[in-house]
Amino acid sequence: MTLNRISSWFFRPLKLDFIGDVHGYADELEALLVKMGYQYINNVWMHPVNKAVFVGDFINRGPNNRRVIEIIKNMVDNQKGYAILGNHEINAISYFTLKNNGQPIKIPGSSNKRFLDKIKAEYKNDLNTFEKRLKWLRKLPLFYDFGDVRVVHAYWSDYNINLIKGAMPKGKLTKKLLKEINKGVTEVSKAILQTTRGVEFCFPVNMIVTDINKNRKINFRIKWWQSPYNKTYEELKFETKSHLPNIIIPNNIITPYEIYPKDSPPVFIGHYCMNNKQLIQNNNICCVDSCIANNGKLTAYRWIGEKHLKKENLVSVKRIKK
């Protein structure tokens, strides 16, 4: 039985709660767990039947990253939950893991660096624990295939998943692989980047598109379960921060990708910061990231074995005002 694919017969008696991007909001995470009937027993949040599945991006942005990590680690270590990596965890690991010359594998941009430095500052009196948590993060998988249901941070592609399995036979992000990911030129690195960031198309060089802050956009995230042909930019986009042109996407900017089939098992994702009305995109596609870091909500989907996902299985809590 491998780390990333677990026999479906083993999980049929269980119910899985897929929890969206927490982004360091520990109070909201605990409120959501309480709302779903979890109890805090012997330093571990647990449910008598359900297990939580964290879809990645549980750190960065919010005020209590250390507490969130402890909550999730204790659940995972005590077999009360599962967790996968998102792009924010990979960014943190790449920044805080040093090369032989003592420099970070990747130095992020100034905004992300500021957020990541705040995470380390939460461990300022206990850097030994900080190093241990980094090592724990590096051992988390990039996906789970439970047989009847799947979870990945941003994009499920069978081709990419198989590449990742081959690159991580021991289920760990090695320094060599981290360097490869951040160069982004090999097939494996592209597979990991798509898995954690999604599929993106670039705009033509002569097209000027801006976001809600009037910053120019050079690319956009797409609905990877749909064919891109004969669709407008607005129809194919998978993001809520911009309105895109209602013109047909030219074939010359379309990069081939694996379309997720309608008859494949339900797959849960985070990453995309959708509002609650848009979380279930298809019968078998659900994004549980409802923008907690942008004054939105923290959301979970309570999966009980259904093949067609239902809105009534979503449960959310609002940001807690301080």
Query: How confident is the model over 4-36, as pLDDT tens digits?
Result: 554 444 444 579 999 999 999 999 999 999 999
Residue 222 lies in a domain: no
Element (H, E) at 235: helix 233-236
Q: Decide if 30 contacts 320 (C-beta within 8 A).
A: no
Residue 291 lies in a domain: yes
pLDDT beyond 80 at 244: yes
Segments forming the whole domain that contains residue 128: 14-152+282-318
Q: Please report the beta strands in 222-269, taking only residues with DSSP state E, as ranges in sequence order.
A: 267-269
Averaged pLDDT, 185-192 = 97
Q: Where does the pLDDT of residue 69 fall: very low under 50, low under 70, confident under 90, or very high at 90 and above? A: very high
Q: Over the stretch 103-147, which tens digit does the pLDDT of each residue have?
A: 999 999 999 999 999 999 999 999 999 999 999 999 999 999 999
pLDDT of residue 9: 40
Residue 268 lies in a domain: no
| Single pTM value for the model | 0.94
Q: Which CATH number belongs to the domain containing residue 22 in this structure?
A: 3.60.21.10
Q: Decide if 195 contacts 257 (C-beta within 8 A).
A: no
Residue 271 lies in a domain: no
Say how many domains are in the chain: 1
Residue type, 141: P
Mean pLDDT of the chain: 94
Helices (H), the chain: 8-11, 26-35, 65-77, 87-96, 110-121, 127-138, 158-167, 175-183, 187-197, 233-236
pLDDT of residue 8: 42
d(CA 282, CA 273): 16
Q: Over the stretch 137-184, which tens digit does the pLDDT of each residue have?
A: 999 999 999 999 999 999 999 999 999 999 998 899 999 999 999 999
How far CA 86 is from CA of 20, 140, 270, 273, in Å, comes to 11, 10, 8, 13
Q: Decide if 188 contacts 161 (C-beta within 8 A).
A: no
Averaged pLDDT, 216-245 = 93
Q: Where does the pLDDT of residue 277 fall: very low under 50, low under 70, confident under 90, or very high at 90 and above? A: confident
